[in-house]
Amino acid sequence: MANVHYGEIGDIWKHLPLTEILSIECPFRYWESHAGSSHYALTHSPERDYGIFYFAQAASQSKLLTHAVYTQLLKGYERNGLLRLYPGSPLLAMTLLQPHHATFLFCDTDPQSLATISDDRARVGLPEDAVQIVQGDGVGALAHILASASPERMSNTFAHLDPYQPFAANAEGITSVDLFCEMSRRGGKAMLWYGFDSKGGQEHFHQQLQHIFHTHTFHPTAYRLWYGEVTLNAIHTPGYRFNPGVMGCGIILSNVSNSSLTACKHLGEALETLYVSATLPHQQSGALTFRERLL
């Protein structure tokens, strides 16, 4: 298991909007560049206590979050009222899209993570040929497929790009942000996740993003780009040392419907309200702020 950050707040503001989008868009093809494990045995940690455990316990306080696709899916992994197994994005996607006969492409460099996807593919009831698994560079694999994909094919494809470093280039010099731009340009629906640990890191990400858009002559308005970001208020506290995984994170969407954008906005607002009473270690407030922006 290569991903040690499962169940943290960064995962919440990834899977919460992702599952809602997939239920609305119902793509024929679903791709992941950095799939991770399909499921995880859920154990407590300070980071997960603030993330998935707080969310699962408190979501019933919000009518919107109670009925959110993500919350309903989590209930399927409860045993005696307790969440024992944590679904990763591959399991969430396969569960949601299996009734629509979608096909899947999951990429990761970790063979153990990919093995869990194969196991869950059978449990979900997907035929073997519906799920393609690539052990290796996901950015390169998806870029290769994109090079020969037709606009019609791409219009029914959704790519979930979840890199640890969005601007890190692979051996061919391609970054996850480059892939996001090309996916969007070809008419595909895409979601790019990113995280940051300081206000400076947040600002640097946005500056780099604008530079890439300029370099690619990429016009955000042409691809209906939208971003939603959650930032812990503790990011403004000098010297506060506990990091619950990330101090803030965001998603950037392209080519999805207004229904998906509206749903993500409402989920972000509801998450901000839900976390007003959350706490971090040392009695620090765990409140967070949601912001959206059309790019």
What is the rounded average pLDDT of the residues 121-146?
97
Compute how many other C-beta atoms are within 10 angstroms of the C-beta atom of residue 66. 12
pLDDT in tens, 53-101: 999 999 999 999 999 999 999 999 998 888 989 999 999 999 999 999 9
Q: What proportion of the chain, given as a percentage, has pLDDT over 70?
A: 99
Cα–Cα distance between 82 and 184 in angstroms, integer?
39
Neighbours of 219 (CB within 10 A): 11
Residues in the chain: 295
Least confident range from 168-172, 179-183, 215-219: namely 215-219
Return the pLDDT at 293: 81
Radius of gyration of the chain (CA): 18
| Cα 234 to Cα 124: distance, rounded to the nearest angstrom | 40
217 has a pLDDT exceeding 80 = yes
pLDDT the model gives residue 2: 66
Q: Taking the CA atoms of 175, 179, 185 and 189 in sequence, report the sign of the dihedral they define.
A: negative
Please report the pLDDT score of residue 23 as a whole number: 98
Say if strands 103-108 and 29-32 run parallel, antiparallel, or are unpaired. parallel
Q: Read off the pLDDT band of 267 (50, 70, 90).
A: very high
Angle between helices 9-25 and 258-274 (to 10 degrees): 150
Place of tokens 């016009």: 219
Residues 161, 194: Cα–Cα separation, whole Å: 9
Domain 9-294 annotated CATH 3.90.1170.50: no
Tokens of 230: 């959650």
Listed by start position, the domains of the chain span: 9-294
Is residue 294's pLDDT more than 90? no
Phi, psi angles (nearest 5°) of residue 280 = -110, 170
Beta partners for residue 229, in sequence order: 250, 291
Mean pLDDT of the chain: 95
Count the alpha carbons within 13 Å of 177 in the hemisphere toward its beta carbon. Answer: 21
Whether residue 3 has pLDDT greater than 90: no
The per-residue pLDDT for 240 is 84
Q: What are phi and psi of 262, to 5 degrees?
A: -65, -45
Task: Please check the confidence at residue 295 and state whether its pLDDT lies above 70.
Answer: no
In three-state secondary structure terms, 125 is: coil
Nearest one of 165, 174, 193 to 251, comparing CA atoms: 193
d(CA 188, CA 150): 10
pLDDT at 69: 98
202 close to 267: Cβ distance less than 8 angstroms: no
Q: Could you tell me if 209 and 247 are in contact, meaning their C-beta atoms sit under 8 angstroms apart? A: no
- To the nearest 10°, report the CA torsion of 49, 284, 264, 67: 50
| CA distance readout (Å), 54 to 8, 17, 48, 60, 139 | 10, 17, 8, 11, 33
Is the pLDDT at 1 greater than 60? The verdict is no
Confidence band of 283 (pLDDT split at 50, 70, 90): confident
Look at residue 222 and tell me whether its pLDDT is greater than 90: no
Residue 96 token pair: 């949601």
Q: Is 115 exposed, middle or buried (0-12, 13-18, 19+ CB in 10 A)?
A: middle
Mean pLDDT of 146-158: 92
